[in-house]
């Protein structure tokens, strides 16, 4: 990777309404992780267990926005990170969870907690500890400004590697055939 030698870049990652597939794919870059780790150090991330987000150079976010908690984390990332990258289909267009947008939230909650079999006429959980669901699942760029996108479900390790390379090198990511995939 050709980036400015010197201080390691601080990178934070998180998964919102996602499946951790993108994180798995990130780990899939295998031995190239060693190259990467020469250039960056991880801040808050499922990979590090650091819980508090500090000021970072890059934030990488997997998953879309399903609930209030997702939005809080996203905004915190936007505040702390110079560059924000949305990774994967869910972060980019809501993905699978967004298919619930065809139905009204009220209908879904009713169906899940009231009418469906198995739940003995349960109540819709209203514990203040729980984040409330949003009326619609949203893509990240609909709520904060996103600097870069890495599409895929999940993006392959090669795709992530190429995109990060370009971004760290200060270039607009150019994936090309085989690497740019939405599925």
For the CB of residue 30, give the shortest distance to another protein in the complex, in Å: 20
Instruction: Please pick, from the candidates 11, 36, 61, 92, the single residue that binds another protein as defined by CB under 8 A.
Output: 92
Q: Which is nearer to another protein, 48 or 110 (CB)?
A: 110
Q: Is 119 in the site for another protein (CB under 8 A)?
A: no
- Give the residue from 173, 161, 179 showing the smallest Cα distance to 34: 161
Binding mask 121-150 for another protein (x = CB under 8 A): ---xxx-xx-xxxxxx-xx-xxxxxx-xxx
Nearer to another protein among residue 7 and residue 126 (C-beta): 126
Q: Is 66 in the site for another protein (CB under 8 A)?
A: no
- The position carrying tokens 């150079």 is 57
Residue 102, Cβ density class (10 Å: 0-12 exposed, 13-18 middle, ≥19 buried)? exposed
Q: Which is nearer to another protein, 31 or 127 (CB)?
A: 127
Q: Which of 9, 33, 47, 105 binds another protein (CB under 8 A)?
A: 105
Name the nearest CA neighbour of 138 among 102, 78, 87, 90.
90
For 89, residues 6+ apart whose C-beta sits below 8 A from its C-beta are 95, 96, 151, 152, 153, 182, 183
Of residues 39 and 74, the one with the C-beta less far from another protein: 74
Binding stretches for another protein (CB under 8 A): 68, 71, 75, 78-79, 86, 89, 92-96, 98-99, 101-102, 104-106, 109-110, 124-126, 128-129, 131-136, 138-139, 141-146, 148-151, 153, 173-175, 177-178, 180-183
């Amino acid at each position: 990777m050709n980036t400015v030698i010197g201080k390691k870049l601080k990178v934070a990652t998180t998964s919102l309404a996602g499946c951790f597939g993108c994180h798995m794919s990130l780990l899939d870059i295998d031995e190239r992780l060693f190259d990467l780790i020469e250039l960056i150090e991880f801040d808050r991330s499922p990979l590090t267990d650091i819980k508090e987000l500090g000021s970072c150079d890059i934030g990488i976010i997997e998953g879309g926005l399903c609930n209030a908690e997702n939005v809080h984390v996203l905004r915190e990332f936007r505040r702390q990170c110079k560059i924000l990258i949305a990774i994967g289909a869910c972060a980019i267009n809501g993905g699978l969870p967004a298919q619930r947008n065809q139905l009204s939230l009220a209908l879904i909650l009713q169906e899940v907690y009231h009418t469906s079999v198995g739940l003995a006429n349960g109540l819709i959980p209203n514990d203040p500890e729980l984040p409330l669901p949003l009326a619609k699942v949203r893509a990240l760029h609909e709520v904060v400004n996103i600097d870069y996108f890495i599409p895929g479900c999940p993006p392959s390790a090669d795709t992530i590697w190429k995109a990060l390379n370009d971004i760290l090198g200060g270039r607009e990511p150019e994936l090309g055939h085989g690497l740019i995939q939405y599925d």
